[in-house]
Structure 1
Amino acid sequence: YLSLLNKQMTCFYSIDTNNNKLNLSSGLSNIKINSTPPTVGSYLAGLLEGDGHIILPKFANGKISYPYIAITFVNKDLPLINKLVEMFGGRLRFKNKENAIVWIVNTHKELINLITIINGYLRTPKIIKFNSLIVWLNERYHYNIPIHSADSSSLNSNGWLSGFIEAEGAFKVRYSEKRIDEKTNKVLTKGRIEVRFALEQRKNIGPHNEESYKPIMLKLHSFFCFNTDLRESKHNEGETYWIVEVTSLNRLNLLIEYLNNYPLLTAKRNDFEDWYKVYQLIADKKHLSEDDKLTIKIIKSNMNKKREVFNWDHLVYLNKV
């Protein structure tokens, strides 16, 4: 197995990635590969690189444990997860204590299908493990699944960023009222209303892999036309993250235009739509009237972790694929 990994390390960056057409050998002729539009493949790749795991085969006591791909969602995303299972197969593992559901794809046919759909769209260091899996499958089953380098195309070119935002992005509304000291008339806090978008990613892929997430975070930084240095943040017991945070309406409009083309599909879509309502009020300079301030306050109080009502009409997007 180690010899296979040595082989794959020499080919990750040497294969021509301009030809993204699948080159499956006759070994796959009896496996039906779904014809799925690139938007969905790139979206799923972004999801995998944000909240997914690639488990390579293990050898123990003369037996082999079969590889699988798993993507973790929060419980409220169950309608989307059920749709993905309907489309691509897999099974669900419910982790109630963690408020999470893990979508696991591990049967041979379904795993090959998912790999085929997302192959060529990965952008982060997770591509190393993904390609290791392909090498193992090619060697063991005599397939010829192509191995690609990291996708270097514009983030605007496909749905990868949408999937990555599902995992790592946050839409936030800030609402604070002006507070004045009654005795001195001194302003204690200024009233402020703003919308922001933030995306954080840990600096490295993990404790046993020092491959950095900085290149993809720099690309996201450039997506918003920043000319400043990429910022760092520290939390979770001192762990350091790269962070891209945006408050400028002009820069946020770049994201809005992108998400109109490559929509979010998890419950986060609901937060984005409410967030956009506040964005529009601010852009139209209608956010300072008492009625609109109340509207914004109500919107904020029902977003993100406080949300109890969900609309899943946007899943009709997947009916087109």
Structure 2
Amino acid sequence: TLKINIYINTLIIYLINKYYYYIINYNIQDNIFIKFITNLGFKNSINITNEHIIKFWVGLIDGDGSIQVNHWRKLNLQYRLIIKLKNTKSNYNMLKLFIPLIGGNVKLVSNNNFVIWVVNNKEDIIKIIKIFDKYPLLTSNKRAQLLFMKKNLLKQDINWYLNNRNNKYNNNIIIQKEILNDLTNINNNYFNSWLSGFIEAEGCFSIRNNYNIKSFSIGQNNDLYLIEYIKNKFNADNKIQLKKNNFYLIEIYKLENLLLIINHCNNYPLLGEKLISFLKFNKYVSCSHTTIK
């Protein structure tokens, strides 16, 4: 009976995640389905709220975004926020979710090989920056980019920009210490949605060796503190690897840790192409769990 109950629970969660896929790819709105699942006690599993999307967006910016200050012929400053992803239907529709809540536009570039979410208007960018004040960036490079943008918006001085544009990352060690301090007091609900956006950008769900080896990995340049925080969140005991160019990577294989990651992604949904690999991963890891039970 226990095995049957676990299997049914796993099947329902799998079907809910499949439903996420159809929401994102076909913009389905099925309030009857949502009400039915909520009554079954799976309300958290359809937690695609506006707040989740905004916090998720910050995590995606941290992973795959860019906060840019450029110039036009050394005469005028230009400001830009951009997220660039592989062009898939899921990624395209995920980026479209940000427009009514945050702003910007979505378009295809590089012979339609990539899709970008982009904001070029200075007034719009000033409004969007307030989101980062409420929900802070957690990677040192993106926070340094944001700080450089804020200084340029304040100074509006092309000469200052030209003299300092190559120095924006000079204080990254100080910024890392600030972020580490922020993490000790961070709102857990914010971090969870942020983390799903960061997983969308930097996470990898892997199934290898004829489905016998399943793992989750995530990494980041320079910011060891962030990978350590993620490692501790999922109670992992794996060693963090140091790769080339100060890239820190953790790979997690233990079933009990993978189940924690799956539970996280069920409660704080992925929204783009990474959701598809997660669905497959969830299916096979959860089946392993029922077999063990």
**TM-score, normalising length: structure 1:** 0.60
Structure 1 position 255, deviation (Å): 1.3
The structure 1 residue matched to 2:139, chosen from 124, 131, 142, is: 124
Are residues 1:43 and 2:59 paired? no
CA distance in 2, matches of 1:215, 1:98: 36
8 A contact 1:194–1:282 mirrored in 2 = no
CA distance in 2, matches of 1:75, 1:229: 34
User: Residue type matched to 2:71 in 1?
Assistant: K
Counterpart position of 1:294: none
Structure 1 position 213, deviation (Å): 1.5
Structure 1 position 139, deviation (Å): 4.8
Range with greater deviation from structure 2 (71-80 or 89-98): 89-98
The structure 1 residue matched to 2:263, chosen from 253, 257, 281, is: 257
8 A contact 2:238–2:251 mirrored in 1 = no
Structure 1 position 263, deviation (Å): 0.9
Are residues 1:198 and 2:217 paired? yes
Counterpart position of 1:247: 253
Range with greater deviation from structure 2 (162-171 or 278-287): 278-287
Matches within 5 A, 1:1-321: 38-58=51-71, 60-61=73-74, 63-76=75-88, 77-96=91-110, 99-119=113-133, 120-125=135-140, 126-139=142-155, 149-150=178-179, 151-152=182-183, 153=185, 156-158=188-190, 159-176=193-210, 193-202=212-221, 212-227=222-237, 229-234=239-244, 239=245, 241-285=247-291
Q: 1:75-129: CA deviations, max 9, x gaps? A: 0111222232344332345334583212111113321232222334211112122
CA distance in 2, matches of 1:223, 1:154: 13
Which of the pair has more CA radius of gyration? 1
CA distance in 1, matches of 2:237, 2:73: 51
CA distance in 2, matches of 1:155, 1:249: 27
Counterpart position of 1:28: none
Kindly tell me: are residues 123 and 168 of structure 1, through their superposed partners in 2, closer, same or farther at Cα, counting changes over 3 Å?
A: same
CA distance in 1, matches of 2:198, 2:66: 14
Counterpart position of 2:37: none
CA distance in 2, matches of 1:250, 1:156: 21
Kindly tell me: are residues 240 and 98 of structure 1, through their superposed partners in 2, closer, same or farther at Cα, counting changes over 3 Å?
A: farther
Counterpart position of 2:12: none
Q: Which has the higher strand share?
A: 1
Q: 1:11-56: CA deviations, max 9, x gaps? A: xxxxxxxxxxxxxxxxxxxxxxxxx955333211111111111112
Q: 1:147-171: CA deviations, max 9, x gaps? A: x953414584321111111111111
Which runs of 5 or more residues in structure 1 are unaligned?
Answer: 1-35, 141-147, 177-191, 203-211, 288-321
Number of equivalences: 216
8 A contact 1:70–1:102 mirrored in 2 = yes
Counterpart position of 2:27: none
Kindly tell me: are residues 52 and 75 of structure 1, through their superposed partners in 2, closer, same or farther at Cα, counting changes over 3 Å?
A: same
Pick 1 or 2: higher relative contact order, CA cutoff 8 A, min separation 6.
Answer: 2
CA distance in 2, matches of 1:175, 1:108: 50
CA distance in 2, matches of 1:155, 1:215: 17
3-state SS in 2 of match to 1:54: strand
Structure 1 position 70, deviation (Å): 0.7
8 A contact 1:121–1:160 mirrored in 2 = no
8 A contact 2:82–2:119 mirrored in 1 = yes
Structure 1 position 226, deviation (Å): 3.2
Q: Which has the higher helix share?
A: 2
Which runs of 5 or more residues in structure 2 are unaligned?
Answer: 1-48, 157-174
Q: 1:271-317: CA deviations, max 9, x gaps? A: 21221111111001189xxxxxxxxxxxxxxxxxxxxxxxxxxxxxx
Range with greater deviation from structure 2 (85-94 or 261-270): 85-94
